[in-house]
Amino acid sequence: MEITGARVLVTGASRGIGRALAAGFARGGARLALVARSAGPLEELAQELGGDAYAADLTDPDAVAGLVARVEEDGPVDVLVNNAGVSNIGYVLDQKPEEIEVLFRTNLLTPIHLCQQAIPRMLERGRGHIVNMGSVAAVVTPPGLAHYGASKAGLAHYTASLRLELKGLPIGLTLVQIGSTDTEMDDATQAYPPYEFLRRGRSVDQVRFPIEQVVDGVIEAVREGRPHVVLPRSLRALTSLVEIPRGFMRLAFRKASPRP
């Protein structure tokens, strides 16, 4: 997918990795469609980067239902980046039902719904790329992130299934799985007491991965059609183990269509 001139929809664009991704795609010559709940900061970012802002609460099914159609009133979406996410770090039994509901809607259900909306439109145009921002927490099971890890594991498995069912069609798919990164969301993670033990005297900065390298990895993956981005690279062995049974299934269907 050529970035220059492509229209890129980024969710969770007002801060953190989403904001950095938006700036990175803008530097690459992309036209931006930015989505987040906070209308004010989103509008400011859109003006700064020369993009369009679409304020939306991604935990609201009604707001999500027509989001891609709303964005495409101003032009087709070539690249969908499902970045929005929440972690709700904390002891599993302290999590309230409504908090769990919001987490799974934001991290898993909304990305699925947006894929379901965007893919038919991309297929009709004969091109498109989807980036699903996952986490290494989908593979390992760190304390305090039971629901977050489960939601990201679901997103990873859904992406693998999409890859199989869309085989041979002009849609690129990239799953991004990253460790601790310099964001506000990770600030809460690093402040959770068990992580102080895990760091074993190291500073927060020593265990975090630079957000700029995440941006570079994602944009390069879109340009080159790479299926996976795993950062830091030292974690690739962990994620590759999960991909073995998924790869076996792709191999099993190599000569057969997975579609009815």
Identity of the amino acid at 147: H
**Is 148 designated active site?**
yes
Token pair belonging to 9: 């929809």
Token pair belonging to 248: 């076996």
Which residue in the list 148, 158, 192, 195 is annotated as catalytic? 148
Q: Are 31 and 22 in contact (CB under 8 A)?
A: no
Whether omega before 258 lies within 30 degrees of 0, making that bond cis, reads no
The residue assigned the tokens 């499902």 is 82
Token pair belonging to 165: 């069912």
Token pair belonging to 40: 């004010």
213/126 Cα distance (integer angstroms):
30
Say what the alpha-carbon torsion angle 18, 242, 233, 208 is, to the nearest 10 degrees. Answer: 50
Q: Are 46 and 63 in contact (CB under 8 A)?
A: no
Question: What is the DSSP pairing of strand 79-82 with strand 7-11?
Answer: parallel
Question: Among all residues, which ones are annotated catalytic?
Answer: 148
